């Protein structure tokens, strides 16, 4: 009859291959247990105003810290991408007019001569304009 043992990590019982030497049911439990027992390194921020102490250089982040930092970065990039996509797909007509848009419109309405784009230039190569004040079509 084989005797089972309790895994030190997951608590599941297992049949050890070598009695006494084995504490975990699997290699993954062994490595997970080892990882979880590692002390969490604090990131040390250099102190700017200390006169006597040299600034403490931040320790290299552990792999797990690197991963979570990368995760934060990716999340931020994701949000920016979504905002960009929103702007991209929103038709201009549905966007609320900005102050600049209104100023542009005012300037446009104030201008007396409006270019007419669906008329060909005249024989002198001049562009057709609509004179808002007289209602005439002129070239210049
Ligand atoms: Zn286990």
Give the model confidence (pLDDT) of 38-84 as tens digits: 876 666 665 555 555 555 555 665 655 555 555 555 556 666 666 66
Q: Is residue 60 part of a domain?
A: no
Output the average pLDDT for the chain. 74
Query: Cα(23) to centroid of ligand 1, in Å?
Result: 9
Mean pLDDT of 111-138: 86
How many angstroms separate the Cα of 24 from the Cα of each of 29, 31, 37, 66? 6, 9, 14, 28
Confidence tier at 140 by pLDDT (50, 70, 90): confident
Query: Cα(65) to centroid of ligand 1, in Å?
Result: 25
Query: Cα(9) to centroid of ligand 1, in Å?
Result: 5
Nearest Cα residue to 115 out of 125, 127, 104, 124: 127
120 half-sphere exposure, CB direction, 13 A CA radius: 3
Q: Is residue 71 part of a domain?
A: no
Query: Cα(21) to centroid of ligand 1, in Å?
Result: 15
User: In the numeric block, which tokens belong to residue 106?
Assistant: 């005012």
- How confident is the model at residue 28, as a pLDDT? 92
Q: How far is it between the farthest Cα atoms of the chain? A: 110
Query: Cα(5) to centroid of ligand 1, in Å?
Result: 10
Instruction: Tell me: pLDDT of 139 over 60.
Output: yes
Domain region containing 124: 96-139
Note the pTM of the prediction, 2 decimals. 0.28
Query: Cα(119) to centroid of ligand 1, in Å?
Result: 81
Q: Is residue 114 part of a domain?
A: yes
Query: Cα(40) to centroid of ligand 1, in Å?
Result: 23
Instruction: Tell me: pLDDT of 130 over 80.
Output: yes
Instruction: Tell me: pLDDT of 29 over 90.
Output: yes
- How confident is the model at residue 101, as a pLDDT? 78
The number of domains in the chain is: 1
């Amino acid at each position: 009859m084989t005797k089972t043992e309790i895994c030190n990590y997951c608590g599941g019982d297992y049949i050890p291959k070598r009695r006494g030497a084995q504490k975990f049911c699997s290699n993954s439990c062994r490595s997970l247990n080892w990882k979880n027992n590692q002390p969490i390194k604090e990131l040390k921020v250099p102190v700017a105003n200390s006169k006597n102490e040299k600034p403490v250089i931040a320790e290299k982040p552990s792999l797990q810290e690197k991963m979570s930092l990368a995760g934060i970065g990716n999340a931020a990039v994701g949000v920016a991408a979504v905002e960009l996509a929103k702007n991209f797909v929103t038709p201009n007509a549905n966007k609320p007019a900005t102050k600049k848009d209104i100023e542009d419109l005012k300037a446009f309405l104030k201008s007396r001569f409006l270019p007419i784009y669906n008329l060909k230039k005249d024989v002198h190569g001049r562009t057709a304009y609509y004179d808002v004040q007289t209602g005439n079509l002129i070239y210049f």
